[in-house]
Amino acid sequence: MRTFKLQVQTTVDGYMAGPNGEMDWLTCPWSDDLDAYVNTLTESVDTIVLGRRLAEGFIPAWAAGPEGEDQASIDWMNSTPKVVLSRTLTESPWENAVVAADLAETVKELRAQPGGDIIAYGGGGLVAGLLAEGLLDELHLFVNPTAIGAGMPVFPSLDAYHRLRLVAARPFACGIAALHLAPHPS
């Protein structure tokens, strides 16, 4: 069965965006060791899952070829098939992306298909839904050395405790630390 991973950038105080969705706290340029880590994390991935709100900025930004990104990363982000989870869209306005409405059913169908691993990039609602449904195999939190005090939490509105097990922790030359977590067996 395919492994389902989550990758999220976060502040040390647990926010993925400011109160109005600001991402200006992401100021650490990635170091070569972090690039290598991400390449290893994504080399087995052949499907990307996104929440609709993130997809609206994420897909067009990568299609435009973001400044400072290497061409291999741009090509991978654009060529990898995407599934956008949305309750409001009925069809995809983006190339190489399909829309799905039911989180649990969609992830279960993706995991049952042959192929490589699946990675999710998303906002707090998607993260909370993935945890609540027990759909994640791995969580990769990239903790930036910045605190913002308020904003969009990585884990909003969880309906219960979700115990996680630390698999590995690794600091990088740029100051970001990666926490590799897995759901704790009950």
Residue 10 has a pLDDT of 93
Domain limits, the chain: 4-183
Tell me if 181 sits within 8 A of 138, measured CB to CB: yes
Phi, psi values for residue 42, rounded to 5°: -100, -5
Q: Is 183 exposed, middle or buried (0-12, 13-18, 19+ CB in 10 A)?
A: middle
pLDDT for 166 = 96
**Whole-structure pTM value:** 0.91
Residues of the chain above pLDDT 90, percent: 57
Left (φ > 0), alpha (ψ -120 to 50) or beta: where does 149 sit?
Answer: left
Is the pLDDT reported for residue 186 higher than 70? no
Query: Regarding the domain delimited by 4-183, which CATH topology (the fold level of the hierarchy) does it fall under?
Result: Dihydrofolate Reductase, subunit A (3.40.430)
Segment of 17-21, 52-56, 166-170 carrying the highest mean pLDDT = 166-170
Q: How many other CB atoms are found less than 10 A from the CB of residue 147? A: 11
